[in-house]
Structures are given as structure tokens and as C-alpha cells.
């Protein structure tokens, strides 16, 4: 049971009773645990929990964290937002790439950016883009797979999922069309380079930041990509400002104003936020938010989609149940999806929840204390950081009534597991800003795919799963046949 907060401690080593591995100089536990050699973090923290229990220490280089891995722990931390704020390690890492991006900010600056950014990612704002998501799915996946025929083994599913979600986020947020962009176009190549380096820097989290700074500074490919992306962002902003200025001349402008992200961002431009005026974003801040939105807008969602395809190929009975639900609501491959129709489809919601629970997409999240506290007898002080083992909670046999090591979407229908929360997108006031958009995109895409085809297992090593650690944890080996119904 979690004890009451205490604001002052007298012990010199205030959490010396917490077990863990003795850290190495500079590297902490990164080398010992296998993180630097590519071992997925969810496996690392699962192993540590098995060895040391629900509470243990881990060092990301010089950054020490206390890991908490029970449901009451995560509920307590997320509920006490005034104590547990955005992690210092996360801010330092993301500041290397997008120093003015929402995910790198804390305090008053975070609140100012949040007032601009968060409203545009709510479900009510993204539902009008259902047709955009549907069209992108048709053009980038279904048309390609249909042209390839049922006999071709699709071995590049992960990249195809990433291309699809990149197309969707740029269409929704910035009115930028990547469906017809050549694979060798400067913008597409620049996005890929930026994301690849984003991954590398995140995997180096915890090592001295000077290494990451020097790597980025002297990486000419990354610097070139940054120039291309900033120029593209500048062009988007310039065109949007011109459009808004022209629109002001129209008598009914307020009724014709578009509600995409870029229109909101440009409307918020204010170069005087450093003074007494505390609203809006500067141009530099806006550019970082665009870059961050490109990465955050597709990485997690494309990973979930890849895992969905993998699991469907392994569980044909579950695919069949999805298709039975579609038939029940008279949904054929020619049926146009609407938000009202999607709301009726309950089983596919259960499947997507189970994908989020079962697949180790995100291992956990971090918080840093802004005042002293105590959890389960562990003394924590202002400035300490805690790690919340979200994936460990998703697999906690003490929590789930149906075997958590089994892929069972039915657990979310009429069982005791039905109302258990899924934490893939985090929780509390620093939860993923785009989770409503991600969930909406996933339901539209997966429903559209199930309207038209069935995923078949290749039956060999090529579709054996495994794990590849990037920003998220991807299936390492994914290859399926796409059989059109």
C-alpha cells in the first residue's frame, strides 16, 4: 500500500534500500543490461523485475531512476502531477533534436505550447479527416497489394506502414501530399534521415549528451536533412500565412477557415512571447513543433499497425471474428466508412486494445519529482527520477484475470479484464498528445484492411516476430501474404 508523502528526509542515501545492479562509470547500466547492444528495453525491465521485484534501480548512464512496476504505483504517480513532472532525462534528450518541441518542454513554456498544440489532436478535430485516412490506405496499401497479387510475399510491411502514417499525418496536419512524392524526393529522404537520427539519439539516452551533440553537429547528412526540412516548413508557413491574409479579405472568412494543425500554428505566431505577452509561438518554436509532429505523428501508430498485421497473420480465427462483425453491420468492401458506423464496431476495438497491451510497443515512461515524496517506503527527493514500467503492468499476472501471456481480445468484452486501462500512450498530464488521433487512425485503417483482405502467415522464419528497438519496439521479422477476399 502506498504511504503518505513526506517532504523532508534525514538519511544521506535516501533510497539505498532499493535493489539494482552496481553501475559502471559514465555508462551506468546501459552496457551491462544489453541496451547499447540493441536489447529491447521492455525485456531489460522485465528481467530486472523478475530478479529484483516491483521496485528497483536502473541507471541510464549518469541518470539514476527508481523503477515502479505495479498498477497502484502508476496510478499514484500519474494522479500526482504536481509532484511528478516531465522527466529531466527526456527533456535533455529531445532538446538535442527539437529544443522547442512540446515533448522537450516543462513549466510555463510547456503550458504555452500545450495551449496551441493539444486542441488540434483531439478526436473531434480529426474525425473530419476520416476520408483522408481511408484514401491514403487505399492508395498506399490496398492498391499496391492488389497489383502485386495474392501470391507475392510482402516483406516490407514495416516501411509500408510508416509511409502510410507519414502520408496521413502530413496530409491532416499540414495539407502536404506525400502520396505522389517520389521515394527519392528530397523531402522524403530528409524525413527518413531525421527520423533515423532521432532513433539513434534516443537509443543513446543516458550517455553523456556531449557525445550526441558532437554526433549531430558533424553528421553532414543529418545537417543537410535539417536544412531541407526547415526550408520545407518555412514554405508551408509562408503559404499558409498568405492564404490566411487573403482569407481575411473574404466577408465570411470565419466560416471558411480550415482547422488543420498548420492553420492553427500560423495563427498562433507571435515573436513577442519572450516579453510580457504570454500567448502563441515564435517562428523558431513553430518549426520545431512541425518537425516533432512529423516524427510523433507516425512512429507509434505505424508500429501498432505493423503489430496488428503480424498478429492477424498468426490468429486467423480473430481475423474471421472481425469480418463476422463487419458482416453483422452490412459492411462490405464497397461500404463507405463513417464515424457512426465505426462506433458500432466493438470487437475491432477489443483487438486493437489487445495489440496495444500484448505488444511491447513502449516499455515505460519517466517522471522527475519537483518536491519530496515517498512511495511504498521508498524515499524520493526533489530532482529524483522514477521509471514507470507500463509494459510490465500489461503482463502482470496478479492484475489480469485471463492469462496476460496470451493474445485474447475477448478479455475486453465481458470479463473482469474489460475495464483494465492500457498505458501504451502513457498517462497523466504528460500523456501522448496525439493518442486520440492515433486510435482513430488505427481503427479506420484496420477496418478498411479487414473489409478487403485476409493476412496469411508465411509459415517460416520471415514471419517469426522478434523485437527491434527504435523509438518504439517493432516486430523484427514480419512477412505476410495479402489475400484479397
| Dist. CA 78–CA 427, nearest whole Å | 6
| Dist. CA 456–CA 174, nearest whole Å | 35
* Radius of gyration, CA atoms only, the chain: 23
Question: What are the φ/ψ torsions at residue 103 (nearest 5 degrees)?
Answer: -70, -15
What's the distance, Cα to Cα, between the start and end of the chain in Å?
Answer: 53
What does the CA dihedral 405, 408, 411, 414 come to, rounded to 10 degrees?
-150
Question: What are the φ/ψ torsions at residue 321 (nearest 5 degrees)?
Answer: -65, -35
User: CA–CA distance from 96 to each of 236, 297, 423, 436 (Å)?
Assistant: 24, 19, 26, 27
Task: Give the number of residues written for the chain.
Answer: 485
**C-alpha cell belonging to residue 445:** 485503417
**C-alpha cell belonging to residue 467:** 523485437
Question: Is there a binding annotation on residue 350?
Answer: no
Report helix angle 186-203 to 283-296, nearest 10: 80
Q: Give the β-pairing of 385-388 and 63-68.
A: parallel
Q: Is the dihedral of CA 355, 478, 397, 374 positive or negative?
A: negative
H or E, element range at 154: strand 153-154
Cβ pair 383, 369 in contact under 8 A: yes
| Dist. CA 43–CA 86, nearest whole Å | 24
| Dist. CA 275–CA 261, nearest whole Å | 25
230-239, long-range: CB within 8 Å, 24+ apart, which pairs?
230/287, 230/291, 232/187, 232/190, 233/286, 233/287, 233/290, 233/291, 234/287, 236/174, 236/176, 236/262, 236/290, 237/262, 237/265, 237/266, 237/269, 237/283, 237/286, 237/287
**Residues at the annotated binding site for heme?**
432
**Residues at the annotated binding site?**
432
Amino acid at each position: 500500500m502506498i504511504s503518505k508523502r513526506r517532504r523532508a528526509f534525514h538519511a544521506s542515501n535516501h533510497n539505498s534500500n532499493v535493489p539494482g545492479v552496481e553501475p559502471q562509470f559514465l555508462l551506468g547500466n546501459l552496457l551491462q543490461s544489453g541496451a547499447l547492444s540493441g536489447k529491447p528495453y521492455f525485456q531489460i525491465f522485465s528481467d530486472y523485475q523478475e530478479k529484483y521485484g516491483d521496485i528497483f534501480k536502473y541507471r541510464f548512464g549518469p541518470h539514476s531512476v527508481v523503477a515502479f512496476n505495479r498498477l497502484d504505483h502508476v496510478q499514484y504517480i500519474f494522479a500526482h502531477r504536481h509532484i511528478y513532472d516531465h522527466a529531466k532525462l527526456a527533456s535533455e534528450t529531445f532538446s538535442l533534436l527539437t529544443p522547442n518541441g512540446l515533448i522537450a518542454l516543462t513549466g510555463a513554456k510547456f503550458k504555452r505550447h500545450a495551449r496551441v498544440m493539444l486542441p488540434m489532436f483531439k478526436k473531434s478535430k480529426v474525425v473530419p479527416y476520416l476520408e483522408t485516412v481511408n484514401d491514403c490506405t487505399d492508395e498506399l496499401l490496398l492498391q499496391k497489394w492488389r497489383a502485386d497479387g495474392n501470391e507475392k510475399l510482402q516483406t516490407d510491411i514495416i516501411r509500408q506502414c510508416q509511409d502510410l502514417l507519414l502520408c496521413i499525418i502530413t496530409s491532416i496536419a499540414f495539407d502536404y501530399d506525400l502520396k505522389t512524392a517520389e521515394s527519392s524526393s528530397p523531402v522524403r529522404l530528409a524525413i527518413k534521415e531525421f527520423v533515423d537520427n532521432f532513433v539513434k539519439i534516443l537509443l543513446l539516452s543516458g550517455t553523456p549528451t556531449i557525445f550526441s551533440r558532437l554526433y549531430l553537429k558533424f553528421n553532414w547528412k543529418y545537417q543537410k536533412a535539417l536544412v531541407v526540412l526547415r526550408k520545407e516548413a518555412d514554405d508551408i508557413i509562408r503559404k499558409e500565412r498568405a492564404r490566411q491574409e487573403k482569407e481575411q479579405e473574404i466577408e465570411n472568412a470565419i466560416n471558411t477557415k480550415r482547422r488543420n494543425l498548420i492553420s492553427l500554428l500560423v495563427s498562433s505566431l507571435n515573436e513577442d512571447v519572450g516579453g510580457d505577452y504570454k500567448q502563441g509561438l515564435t517562428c523558431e518554436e513553430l518549426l520545431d513543433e512541425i518537425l516533432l509532429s512529423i516524427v510523433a505523428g507516425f512512429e507509434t501508430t505505424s508500429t501498432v499497425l505493423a503489430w496488428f498485421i503480424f498478429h492477424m497473420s498468426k490468429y486467423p480465427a480473430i481475423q474471421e471474428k472481425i469480418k463476422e462483425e463487419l458482416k453483422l453491420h452490412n459492411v462490405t468492401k464497397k461500404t463507405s466508412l463513417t464515424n457512426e458506423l465505426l462506433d458500432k464496431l466493438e470487437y475491432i476495438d477489443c483487438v486493437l486494445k489487445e495489440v496495444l497491451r500484448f505488444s511491447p510497443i513502449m516499455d515505460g515512461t519517466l517522471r522527475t519529482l519537483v518536491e519530496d515524496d515517498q512511495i511504498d517506503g521508498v524515499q524520493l527527493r526533489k530532482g529524483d527520477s522514477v521509471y514507470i514500467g507500463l509494459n510490465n503492468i500489461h503482463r502482470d499476472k496478479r492484475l489480469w484475470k485471463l492469462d496476460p501471456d496470451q493474445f485474447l481480445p475477448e478479455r475486453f468484452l465481458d470479463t473482469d479484464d474489460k475495464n483494465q486501462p492500457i498505458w501504451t500512450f502513457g498517462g497523466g498530464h504528460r500523456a501522448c498528445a496525439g493518442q486520440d488521433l492515433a486510435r482513430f487512425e488505427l481503427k479506420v485503417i484496420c477496418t478498411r484492411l479487414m473489409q478487403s483482405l485476409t493476412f496469411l502467415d508465411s509459415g517460416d522464419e520471415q514471419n517469426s516476430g522478434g523485437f527491434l528497438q527504435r523509438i518504439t519496439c517493432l516486430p523484427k521479422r514480419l512477412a505476410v501474404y495479402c489475400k484479397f477476399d
